[in-house]
Amino acid sequence: MLEVGIKAPDFELPDQNGELHKLSDYLGKKVILYFYPKDNTAGCTKQACGFSERYPQFTEKGAVILGVSKDSVASHKRFEEKQGLLFTLLSDTERKVIEAYDVWKEKKNYGKISMGVVRTTYLIDEQGIIIKSNDKVKAADDPENMLQELS
């Protein structure tokens, strides 16, 4: 996990519509950058729907939500449409950003060890500095916790 107080690494990734986004495009706004394991899984759906339900409150506070996983653009599009998501999902199939943000780690699931994305959320300020990071994210609680961080 990256340290609070450092400049967030810039990146360029395609969204669910194939349009490219750079983190630097969002200077002047707070960014909630969250990494999640997989589209259309229980925890990831809870987290995404929680962000989507609170989307108007995030925009009122001048914040942008960017969700990142290694799923494809097409997978993100299906996830967005199925769940009615209102924010940007970024596709990092090559794991460049996932690795730059130090969220590709060894995970244990039912005793089996494998590599994967550890659910992690970063709050980045208007100057591109990480002001909050959490790699102990509870999917259902993360959206409300992040909203409170903006208050």
Catalytic (active site) residue 44: yes
Contacts 24+ apart (CB under 8 A), 109-117: 116/37, 117/35, 117/36, 117/37, 117/69, 117/70
- Mapped onto helix, strand or coil, the DSSP state of residue 16 is coil
Cα separation, 150 vs 27, in Å, equals 16
Identified catalytic residue from 44, 64, 118, 124? 44
Report the 10 Å Cβ neighbour count for 92. 21
Query: Which residues are catalytically annotated?
Result: 44
